[in-house]
Amino acid sequence: MTAPAAPSDPPPEPQAVVQALTRAAIFLIVTINSGAANGAAVRALCGNLAALLRAVGFRDIEGNLSCVMGIGSEAWDRLFGEPRPAELHPFREIRSGPRHAVATAGDLMFHIRAGRMDLCFEMATQIMAALGEAVSPVDEVHGFRYFDDRDLIGFVDGTENPTGQAAVDAAYIGAEDAAFAGGSYVIVQKYLHDVAGWNALSTETQERIIGRTKLADIELDDAVKPAYAHNALAKVVVDGKEIKIIRDNMPFGRVAEKEFGTYFIGYARSPRTIEQMLENMFVGRPPGNYDRLLDFSLAKTGNLFFVPSASFLDNVAADDPAAEVLDNAAMPAPDAAPKRNGSLGIGSLKGDPAS
């Protein structure tokens, strides 16, 4: 385990959650294979991640390469044990009628961003080479910035992201969980869109569903915005104050396969904010007043990870004896069910109902 910082220590350095948007990204999710050696390999990568990032990023210092590493609830117990981040838990799936925010496999998440896809690709390559046989891949998405920060349904995405100190306050844990100050929580979901069905709608209908104008990206007046608008339901207000999150969504797709998607990624100092957003969208506020965008968008994955500070990762040792005990305890018994290979079986929406 890595000991939390003493009160006299300098504040922990966070991972690069808050930063400018980039043109390219890779979202990589893996599971950790059973066995103490595999846990040790993951812990070794934690301590070496910053060095890998420096080595790859130095090839183009203007490429703005970054990599955020997140750790799932079960993986945290296996790798580090106690203490645990106060609000870390498995992703909570949501079902309401035909709408389903699914929970899928995933122990580790790597959010790799840069101005160039080749930098992202090289960083992902080095991470997987370092992990070797210790992990099994679950999902890999190559995202790209689409024109003026639009998604594949034609609207600008991420307009309401906070900036400056507001972004720092939204993303990073503070005194409420002092042992993990500088950390963050991240929820990711992979959505596929029924673009043909969406494009059959009038622009005015699309704007009412999103809650913004399509061309100018101006928020609709409350007098005309429906209660089911996406940006109305994705707003969380506590004691009269809107609680912000950091989004860095990216479009992705395969044109020949008619696969058009958005990879949602939201960072927050508490997962409750994003969970409330999803509850509003999938169930409705009030129940039944759901996000009509979900009539055209299907969630194919869902994960919650904790993003420890960069200082925490730097201090992780590969041969932590206490973690090794936990790792051995996590190994399945010989007659246990076989381990999932992590495949999500994700295809396109072709032939699937729009809802």
Give the catalytic positions in this structure: 157
CA 284-156-250 angle, to 5 degrees, is 85
Is 12 within 8 Å of 127 (Cβ atoms)?
Answer: no
Give which of 269, 277, 283, 282 is closest to 237, Cα–Cα: 277
Tell how far CA 18 is from the center of its chain. 13
How far apart are alpha carbons 304 and 250 in whole angstroms?
18
Task: Kindly list the distances between the CA atom of residue 153 and the CA atoms of 262, 299, 330, 333, in Å, as whole numbers in the listed order.
Answer: 9, 15, 43, 47
CA 9-13-19 angle, to 5 degrees, is 160
- The 10 Å CB-count burial string (b at 16+, else e) for 23-39 is bbbbbbbbbbbbebebb
